[in-house]
Chain A
Amino acid sequence: MIRRSASYAVLVAGLVPLLLPFYWMAVTSLKPKREIFTATPQWLPAHPAWDNYLLAWTAEPFARFFFNSAVVTALIVALQLVLASLAAFALSRFEFHGRRIIFWIIVAALIVPVQVTFIANFMTLAHFGLLNTYAALIAPYAASAFGTFLLRQAFAAVPRQLEDAARLDGCSGLAFLWHVLLPLSRPTVLAFALVAIVAHWNDYFWPLIVTNNNAVRTLPIGLGMFIGQEVTTDWNLLMAASIFVSAPMLLLFFFMQRYFVQSMLRTGIRG
C-alpha cells in the first residue's frame, strides 16, 4: 500500500518538469504582449489573444512551409515503405548468393547518420544542381535501413506453409508480398510509418543544409527562422508558431499512441 502510493507520488512529481513546459508554451501563446513579462508569472492570460495564432501564421509563409513539410514527409515515407518492402521481401523469402552480406551492408547504414555525410551529400546535390528542390529533401531518405530491417523481421515470421499454400492458389512473387506478407505485417508497417512520419516532419538538420529558399523550406526551418527574428520580445507569437508546428505530431501521437507505444515495446524504434 505504501509502496503503491509512493510510486504514484514519484510518477506525479515527475510530471511537473515534464508537463509544465507544455503548459507554459500554451499559456504564453495566448497572452497579449503586455502580459508576457510580469513580475510574477501569470498562469492564465487575463485577456486571451487568440489572434496571436493568426499573427504568427502570417509572420512567415507558414502555409507554404506546411505544404512543403506535408509533401516531403508523405513522399519520403511512401518511398521508404515501397523500397523497404521490396528489399525485405528479397531478404526474407529468397535464397540467393550474397544474402547475408547484403543484409549486413543495409543494417550497417544505421551507424552512418546524415550528420556525418551531409557535406559530401551537399556537394553531390550541388553538383547536379539539385539544391532547393524537393528531390534534395527526399532522395537521401528514399531508402530506410531501419524499415528494411523491421520489415524483414516481420516477413520472416510468416510461416513457409502459408507461402506454399498461396502459391498453389496462384499467388506468388509480388502478389504474395502485397496480398499476404504486408497485410500480415500490418502492426510493423504501421509502427514504422508512424515513426518515420514523426522523424521527417520534425527533421531540422537536412532541410537546413539543402534549402535557402522559401519555396521549398519546411516547417522546422520556418520556425527556426522565426526564432532568429523574434527571440527578443514576441514570445507569445513564437510559442503560437511552435504549437502549430508541433500540433500535427502531437495529435498523431495522442490518437495513435497505442501503436507508438506498442511499436516501441516491440522494437524500440525512434519517434
Chain B
Amino acid sequence: MMPPRVMAAARPYLYLTPTLAVLAAFTYFPIARLAEMSLRAPSVGTSLGPWIGLSAYAKLFANPLFWRVLGQTILFVFASVPIAMALALGLALLLDQPLRGLSVFRVLYYTPVVMPTVAVAALALWMFNANGGIVDYFLRSLGIAPVPWLVESKWALPTLILIAVWKNVGYYMIIYLAGLQSLPRAVLDAARLDGARPIMRFFTITLPLLRPTTFFITVVALIGSFQVFDFVNLMTQGGPSNATNVLVYFAYQNGFEYLQLGMAAAISLIMFALVLGILGLVAGALNR
C-alpha cells in the first residue's frame, strides 16, 4: 500500500494513462513502425523482413506514377479547399444577417456534412452516370453536350472535387459563421457609419479580423482533404487509368493489392511529411 501523499501525486498520471496508452499504441508508435517498415521488406503476416535501406524510396521516386499521384493529390487539395472555403464564406456572410428564417438555411446547408461518404458516393455515381444520370439531362436541356464525368481522365478528378466541395461546404460555413458572430460589432458599425462601402468593409475589416477563423478552417480542411480516399475507392478505384489515384489510395493499393507493404509505408510517411510541411507554411503565412 502506497502512502497517501504518493497516491495523490500519482493520480493525474493515473487518469492520463489510458488516453496516453491508446495514443502511443495507435498514433505515435505507428509512425516509427512505418519508418521501420519502409526500410525493410515486410510481408503480410508477422514477418518484417530483412533491412533493405532506402530502396523503397528509390523505387518510388523513380516511378512516374508516384509523381503523378502526388500531383493529383495536391491538385485535389488545392482546388477543393479554396473553392469550398470561398463558397462557405459567401454563405456565412449571407447567413450572418438579422433576417428571419436564416436558421433553417443554416441547418439545410449543413445536412451533407452528416451524410456517410458511402451514401454520397452511391448517389453521385447515379447522378453523374453516363447512362440515365440526371446531371447530363440538365446539361442537355440547357443545350450542352453530356459530359463523360467519371469515364474520361480529364473529367474524373474535377468530378470528385465537385462532390467533395458539396459534402464539406456546410462544415466550413458553420465555422465561418461562428467567426463572423464573434467579431467586435463596434468596429463593424463604426466602419458603416464612416460610410465605407460594403465591399471595402469586407476586404479591409471583416476579412482581416477573420484571419484566425480562416487559419483554423484551412488547417482542418487541408488535413481532411489530403486524406481523400472514400470517393476514390467507391467511385473510380483510382481510374480511369489512374487519373483519380491519390496518395492514400496509392498506399492502400500498394499495401493491400500489390502486397508491397514497405512501399505503402513509404508512401504514407511521405504524405505525412507533406501535410506537416504544408501546415507549417500555412501557419507561417496566416498565423503571424
Chain B, residues 92-116, CB within 8 Å of chain A (1/0): the string is 0011010100110111111111111
Smallest beta-carbon distance A213→chain B, Å:
15
- State in angstroms the CA–CA spacing of A25 and B261 once bound together: 39
CB atoms of A116 and B94 under 8 A apart:
no
CB atoms of A260 and B272 under 8 A apart:
no
B69 at the interface (CB under 8 A from A): no
Interface residues of A in 84-120 (CB under 8 A from B): 84, 86-87, 89-91, 94, 96, 99, 102, 105-106, 109-113, 115-120
- State in angstroms the CA–CA spacing of A264 and B176 once bound together: 10
- State in angstroms the CA–CA spacing of A96 and B129 once bound together: 59
B19, B114, B265 pick with most chain A CB within 10 angstroms? B19
CB atoms of B26 and A121 under 8 A apart:
yes
Which residue from A96, A121, A173, A242 sits with its C-beta under 8 Å from B119? A242
| Given A83-B18, A120-B265, A245:B108 Cβ within 8 A | no
CB atoms of B15 and A86 under 8 A apart:
yes
Which residue from A37, A120, A148 sits with its C-beta under 8 Å from B131? A37
A46 at the interface (CB under 8 A from B): no
B60 at the interface (CB under 8 A from A): no
CB atoms of B137 and A249 under 8 A apart:
no
Interface residues of A in 197-241 (CB under 8 A from B): 198, 201-202, 204-205, 208-209, 219-220, 223-224, 226-227, 231, 235, 238-239, 241
CB atoms of A119 and B251 under 8 A apart:
yes
| Given A113-B227, A224-B118, A261-B106, A94:B12 Cβ within 8 A | yes
A contact residues around B113 at 8 Å (CB)? 270-271
B contact residues around A249 at 8 Å (CB)? 114-116
A contact residues around B42 at 8 Å (CB)? 123
B171 at the interface (CB under 8 A from A): yes
CB atoms of A143 and B30 under 8 A apart:
no
CB atoms of B174 and A264 under 8 A apart:
yes
A interface majority secondary structure: helix
B contact residues around A28 at 8 Å (CB)? 126
Interface stretch (choices B31-39, B188-196, B201-209): B31-39
CB atoms of A87 and B15 under 8 A apart:
yes
Which residue from B95, B115, B177 sits with its C-beta under 8 Å from A11? B95
CB atoms of B105 and A15 under 8 A apart:
yes
Smallest beta-carbon distance B173→chain A, Å:
9
| Given A11-B94, A239-B123, A117:B31 Cβ within 8 A | yes
A40, A86, A91, A252 pick with most chain B CB within 10 angstroms? A86
CB atoms of B248 and A238 under 8 A apart:
no
Interface stretch (choices A2-10, A162-170, A180-188): A2-10
B11, B119, B171, B230 pick with most chain A CB within 10 angstroms? B119
B contact residues around A120 at 8 Å (CB)? 29-31, 33-34, 37, 265
Which residue from B114, B171, B229 sits with its C-beta under 8 Å from A250? B114
CB atoms of A96 and B23 under 8 A apart:
no
B91 at the interface (CB under 8 A from A): yes
A contact residues around B255 at 8 Å (CB)? 119, 122
A140 at the interface (CB under 8 A from B): yes
Number of B residues, CB within 8 Å of A: 93
Q: What residue in chain B is nearest A7 (Cβ atoms)?
A: B94
| Given A202-B115, A261-B174, A143:B220 Cβ within 8 A | no
Q: What residue in chain A is nearest B168 (Cβ atoms)?
A: A270
B contact residues around A109 at 8 Å (CB)? 23, 27-28
- State in angstroms the CA–CA spacing of A115 and B122 once bound together: 22
| Given A8-B99, A119-B264, A231-B125, A102:B272 Cβ within 8 A | no
- State in angstroms the CA–CA spacing of A84 and B119 once bound together: 30
Interface residues of A in 59-87 (CB under 8 A from B): 82-84, 86-87
B22 at the interface (CB under 8 A from A): yes
- State in angstroms the CA–CA spacing of A210 and B126 once bound together: 28
- State in angstroms the CA–CA spacing of A270 and B255 once bound together: 29
- State in angstroms the CA–CA spacing of A41 and B113 once bound together: 27
CB atoms of B19 and A121 under 8 A apart:
no
A150 at the interface (CB under 8 A from B): no
Q: What residue in chain A is nearest B249 (Cβ atoms)?
A: A115
B63 at the interface (CB under 8 A from A): no
A contact residues around B276 at 8 Å (CB)? 111
Give 10 A-B pairs besides A11-B91, A115-B271 with Cβ atoms closer than 8 angstroms: A112-B27, A113-B227, A116-B268, A116-B269, A117-B31, A143-B21, A226-B122, A235-B129, A264-B110, A265-B174
A interface residues, Cβ below 8 angstroms from B: 4, 7-8, 10-11, 14-15, 17-19, 21-22, 24-25, 28, 36-38, 40-41, 82-84, 86-87, 89-91, 94, 96, 99, 102, 105-106, 109-113, 115-124, 126-127, 139-140, 142-143, 145, 148, 173, 198, 201-202, 204-205, 208-209, 219-220, 223-224, 226-227, 231, 235, 238-239, 241-243, 245-246, 249-250, 252-254, 257, 260-261, 264-266, 268, 270-271
Q: 3 tightest CB-CB pairs across the interface, nearest first?
A: A120-B30, A143-B22, A90-B12
